[in-house]
Amino acid sequence: MLKLAAAASATALTSAAQCNPSDWQVGISFKNREYTEQNASSPADCCSACQKTTAIKCTYWTYTDGSCWLKDNPDNPIPCKTCTSGGINPMPPTPAPTPKPPTPQAPTPSTIPPTPWDGKPAKVYIMMGQSNMLGEGRVFGATTNGTLEYAVKVEKKYPYLWDAKTNDWAVLDNTRNVFIMTSGNQTFEQAKLQHNETMRVGSSTPGGSYSSLGPEFGIASSLMQQDNVMLLKSCIGDRALGWDLLPPGTASWDFTDPTGKTYTYAGYHQSPMKWLKGTTPPPPPKWMAGEQYDGDTSNAQHILSNIIDFYPGVEKYEVAGFFWWQGDKDSRDLGLATRYEYNLVNLIKVLRKQFNAPNAPFVTASLGQTVKGSTSPDGLILDAMLNVDGTSGKYPEFKGNVAAVYTHPLSEGGSSGGHYGKDARTYMNVGEAMGAAMAKMTEAQ
C-alpha cells in the first residue's frame, strides 16, 4: 500500500523519511485494530507520535480531523476522504492493488404483491445513525449460535418472523422496508438502494434478501398493529453526530481538553472537524460538518416525494416518528462526547422541522456496552440520551414525545465498535425495545 522508493524496498527507511509526505497514503484509513487515539495537529504530528510512543507498540498510524490513531499493521485499508495514513520501520513490500469492487446493483423488487391501498397515508418512521443502525447482525446459520436463524429456529425467539404454515420466513405485509446508504451524497442513486420491498427476512438459505440486519425487524414487531407502515432507513457507518451528522444551523464551539489545549470544533458546513483555537485552520478536506446529515435527509426526502415508487399504491404519507441509534464515533473524541447532549437536542428539533413533523416521537438507543454511572466518554453519551428522555424533566417540551432506550441489559455482549460480535439477538432486542417505546408514545398521542 505505502509508496516505497526502489532503494528503500530492501532496507528500512529512516525515521525522517517515514514522516515525509511523499511516503503517506492520502485518502486511506487503516481499519485494523486501533491501539489508542490521541489529539494531533497534522499527519506529521501523528507520525511523530507513533515513532515516540513507548507505552504501546505502534508501527502504523492514521490521522483524521485532529485525531491520531496508533496501530500495529496496515491491514484492511479503506477509502476515507479525511484520512492520511503512514507507517514507521519496518515497512512491508507494496501489495498488489485491490481490484475495484463492481458497482452495486439495485435490489430485485419484491415478488410479494403489495396489499391494496386502503386510502390511509403511510406512517413513515425514519431511521438514522451509524453502523449499528445500518445493521451487522448475522442472519443465516441454523446451527450457529448468535445468528437470527438459530435464534428463531432453535431458541424459538421472535416467533413473529416465522410462518409455521409455509415453514418459511413470515411476510410482514403491513410494513414496507426501504433502506438507502450513501456517503453524504445528496443526489439519489437507485444503485444505493439496499432494500425496497414488503418486509421479510428472506429465504431460508444464504443469499436471501437479508445477509445482515439492524434493529428494523424488532422495531417492526411493535408497529404491526398500525396500517401502512414504512420503515425508511437512511444511514451509513462510522459517522459522528458532532461532525458528519451535525444538524444545519449548529454554530462552532470551543472545548478545552485535559491537557489544557483549547480546540474550536466546526459548525455546520465548516471544515476540518477541529483545530487549535486561535490558529488558522488547515486547508479544508473534501468533507465538511453535516455532510452526512445532508445526504441522509436528502435521500429520505426523495423517497418521500416519490412515495408511490417505494410503497406501491400508496399516494400519501406522514412522518410518524424518528429512530436514532448512534454515538460510537462521538465517544472516541472527548470534545464530541461532551457536546453530545446539545447536539442531540438540536437534532431532534431540526429533524422535526425539516420533515414537517413537529409532534413526531423520537426514540434514541444507547451503546450496549455502556453502563449507567460510567464516567468515560461513552458514559457521557449515555447520560446525554437519558437527559433528553421526556421522563427526565430536563426538557419539558420532550415529555411524552422523546424516549431513550438503555440497551446494556439488552445486549448479548461485545461493544458497539465491534458491532456486538454481530449477534443478531442484540439487534433484535434493541429493535423491540425501540419499537415498544415508539408505540407507547404514538398510542398516547
Residue 224: its pLDDT value, please? 83
- Alpha-carbon span 328 to 237, nearest angstrom: 10
Q: Which domain holds residue 83?
A: 6-87
User: Is residue 374 a contact partner of residue 327, using CB atoms and an 8 Å limit?
Assistant: no
Report CA dihedral (106, 108, 113, 119) to the nearest 10 degrees: 0
106 within some domain: no
Residues 6+ apart with CB under 8 A from 139: 147, 148, 149, 201, 202, 208, 210, 211, 212, 213, 424
Q: Among the residues of 135-227, which ranges form H helices?
A: 148-153, 216-222
Same domain assignment for residues 80 and 136: no
What is the residue type of 442? T
Same domain assignment for residues 301 and 211: yes
329 within some domain: yes
Chunk the chain into consecutive blocks of 10 residues (it has 445) and report each block's average pLDDT, rounded to whole numbers: 33 48 77 63 83 75 78 70 74 44 46 61 96 92 95 96 93 92 93 91 55 94 90 97 97 97 96 94 85 97 96 93 98 98 98 97 98 97 98 97 98 95 97 97 89
Same domain assignment for residues 303 and 180: yes
| Overall domain count for the chain | 2
- Does this model's pTM top 0.85? My answer is no
274 within some domain: no
How many CA atoms lie within 13 Å of 62's alpha carbon, on the beta-carbon side? Answer: 25
Is 438 strand, coil or helix? helix
The continuous run of DSSP H or E covering 347 comes out as: helix 340-354
260 within some domain: no
Residue 211: its pLDDT value, please? 80
271 within some domain: no
CATH code where residue 17 lies: 3.50.4.10
Residue 56: its pLDDT value, please? 65
End residue of a domain, out of 37, 67, 87: 87
Is 160 strand, coil or helix? helix
Residue 97: its pLDDT value, please? 44
Residue 5: its pLDDT value, please? 33
371 within some domain: yes
